[in-house]
Structure 1
Amino acid sequence: MRNLHIAVERFPIAGKFTISRGAKTEAVVVVASIEEGGARGRGECVPYARYGETVDAVCARIESVRAAIEAGADRGRLQTLLSPGAARNALDCALWDLAAKSGGVPAYALASLPTPAPATTAFTISVASPEEMAAAAARANWRPLLKIKLAGAGDPARIAAVRAAAPDATLIVDANEAWTEADLSSHLEACAEAGVALVEQPLPAGRDAALARIQRIIPVCADESVHARQGLADLADRYDVVNLKLDKTGGLTEMLAMAAEAEAAGFGLVIGCMVATSLAMAPALLLAGRARFLDLDGPLLLERDRADGLVFEGSVIHPASPALWG
């Protein structure tokens, strides 16, 4: 007999995490646990207001399929019960974990993927004044890959300040939809002058057609503009890379399918995350070897991670232990 448990957990952020849409000081996550035959599978998600999600609504969506899950619904059935989003992610990853624990077979083997290897993640610098961002970049300038959050007006000065403070790091920037068509070219030129390797979601989703009309002097990555496979076809003339996140795709099942389709269409991959614990990162690590950039620094931004969390050596993440997930 199966039992589903739903829990809301809070983890303080070290300092403050700030993007163009605002700041937060804690990560609020929803954990779905499925117990069956003495085994327990877990999945963690982050309800995201940008996509119209709240903690209560995500919990209610998980609760709405309790009967089906406890009656034995598998990952395939789950795809028809819930649309992409945080609720389906928690359940899907819990079902992967449960299958691995029940069968004694690692999740990567169940997915016919190679054995995970240690991989280097980006480390995020929150948006602030150029001086504040330079100071944060200087403290992190020993890390090989920095992700710089931007906010629109004043971004060329932020980019230049960070580059001066971290001259040897590879930089990727994330505008979180904050740029406009009017400043697109000048901001891209500022990125090029600083040697930025990737620009993520410069324009608002649904208002990004200008990306097809310019010469993209730096690879541009879609984040808010794409969630699951059905949105990929609309990106071909505007983006070079897609950011895959479990909370957008609604779990590992769709992420795997989307990764394959995106690669077949010629897109590069970024494997990203919301600010969350190691439990939310672990399933995404299965795709680390296929990513142009890995952005799974959520646990590094927290004051504390959960027990049996991922092992970080600097910016290098080691694969999850079975005690954590998979």
Structure 2
Amino acid sequence: MLAISTILRDLPLKSPFRISGHVFESQPVVEARVTRGGHVGRGEASGIYYTGDTPAAAKQLLDGLQLDESISREELRRLLPAGAARNALDCALWELEAAEAGLPVWKLAGFSAARPLLTTMTLGADDPATMAAGAIGYAGARALKLKLSGDVDVDIERVRAVRAARPEVWIGVDANQGYASADALAPLVPVLVDCGVQLLEQPFKRGGEAALDGLKLPLPVAADESCLDLNELETLPGRFQVVNIKLDKCGGLTEGLLMARRAQELGLKLMVGNMVGTSLAMAPAFVLGQLCDVVDLDGPVFIARDPEPTVDYSGGDIWCPPDVWGPDAMLENRA
């Protein structure tokens, strides 16, 4: 049988992080490790809070698994549902296979090279002055993502304050399902245009996507909560122009890559995001990010301690060194 072990951790955040309807002070994660023939593979998952998919539940599922040592990632995809458990195990199998082949994961995934990626840095839905100060604090950032709350008057001031503080950066906004209707959103839209906002993410609730029918917005709209996995991609065209692929939602890099290619066939732009985690969680998403138009991989920025080795943030870019995840990873530093 495939040797699988799991570790449950709680990652304290540097400060409380606010989005529409939620405040986070820590982020639990589950790490899966697999061993075969002297090689080790690891994957980390945070789960999806709004579906009740928790790291603790993922650990329980993984601890009860008995899998043949030769199981493939595609077989795993058919065996487990999308979510944290499959994400952690799928990513562990990617690293295991890369170690066995002596290849970086990006090459195993079919890329001829890996490049640094421009990543957004996220500002929680705080008061406008705090968000403006945070924008200035991200001095090296060239792209910012603003969390909104659904309180349109405050959201307007948030957008204006950040744009005034950082007139030169790319800005996207994420409502996290905060708006109840198109009418509630309407006053915000001209402000987004006036402030040069380039992306509006998930304005309405999952299940309430019909609010976008016939709504002609002057900027692209991204689906996050409205699209969890490959099957749900088919519902997006005509309502969304961008899909935010998160490995915790879809269940790993294997399905993430399938989603990216199908989304391109459907004419959708690609975004990769994260649910907050260590560099170990960012590494497989960084591979997916090689295909993406928008990258939001700033999760380690929010945690109090990111175990070494870590991804590198420099000049507004994220770069994943080979010792973070793959054949060259320094496993002793992850104990």
Matches within 5 A, 1:307-322: 307-322=308-323
Tell me, yes or no, if the aligned pair for 1:268 and 1:291 is still in contact at 8 Å. Answer: yes
CA offsets per residue over residues 112-152 of structure 1, 9 Å max, x none?
Answer: 12311111110000101112212212222541100000001
Distance 1:158 1:221 in 2: 20
Give the drift of 1:10: 2.4
Give the drift of 1:25: 1.9
Find the counterpart in structure 2 of residue 163 from structure 1.
Answer: 163
Matches within 5 A, 1:275-314: 275-314=276-315
Secondary structure at the aligned position of 1:296 is classed as: coil
Find the counterpart in structure 1 of residue 244 from structure 2.
Answer: 243
Find the counterpart in structure 1 of residue 193 from structure 2.
Answer: 192
Give the drift of 1:319: 2.7
Secondary structure at the aligned position of 1:290 is classed as: coil
Letter aligned with residue 66 of structure 2: A
Instruction: Give structure 1 regions of 4+ aligned residues with deviation exceeding 6 angstroms.
Output: none
Find the counterpart in structure 2 of residue 205 from structure 1.
Answer: 206
Tell me, yes or no, if the aligned pair for 2:310 and 2:320 is still in contact at 8 Å. Answer: no
Matches within 5 A, 1:37-52: 37-52=37-52
Find the counterpart in structure 2 of residue 178 from structure 1.
Answer: 178
Distance 2:140 2:286 in 1: 23
Give the drift of 1:74: 1.6
CA offsets per residue over residues 27-71 of structure 1, 9 Å max, x none?
Answer: 21100000111110000000222111123211122223x211x54
How many equivalent pairs are there? Answer: 324
Find the counterpart in structure 2 of residue 324 from structure 1.
Answer: 325
Distance 1:157 1:311 in 2: 32
Distance 1:97 1:158 in 2: 41
Match of 1:120 among 118, 121, 127: 118
Tell me, yes or no, if the aligned pair for 1:16 and 1:23 is still in contact at 8 Å. Answer: yes
- How large is the Cα RMSD of the aligned pairs? 1.5
Find the counterpart in structure 2 of residue 132 from structure 1.
Answer: 130
Matches within 5 A, 1:25-104: 25-64=25-64, 66-68=65-67, 71-104=69-102
Letter aligned with residue 171 of structure 1: I
Structure 1 unaligned blocks of 5 or more: none
Letter aligned with residue 166 of structure 2: A
Distance 2:324 2:179 in 1: 42
Distance 1:125 1:49 in 2: 19
Give the drift of 1:183: 1.5
Secondary structure at the aligned position of 2:66 is classed as: helix
Letter aligned with residue 72 of structure 1: S
Structure 2 unaligned blocks of 5 or more: 328-335
TM-score with structure 2 setting the length = 0.93
Letter aligned with residue 18 of structure 1: R
Secondary structure at the aligned position of 1:206 is classed as: coil
Matches within 5 A, 1:15-26: 15-26=15-26
Distance 1:142 1:71 in 2: 45
Distance 1:260 1:231 in 2: 14
Find the counterpart in structure 1 of residue 332 from structure 2.
Answer: none
Give the drift of 1:314: 4.1
TM-score with structure 1 setting the length = 0.95
- Closer, same or farther in 2 for the Cα pair 1:233/1:272, shift >3 Å? same
Matches within 5 A, 1:144-155: 144-153=142-151, 154-155=154-155
Give the drift of 1:89: 0.2
Secondary structure at the aligned position of 2:159 is classed as: helix
Most deviating of 17-26 and 93-102: 17-26
Distance 1:120 1:292 in 2: 9
Distance 1:241 1:324 in 2: 28
Distance 1:8 1:278 in 2: 16
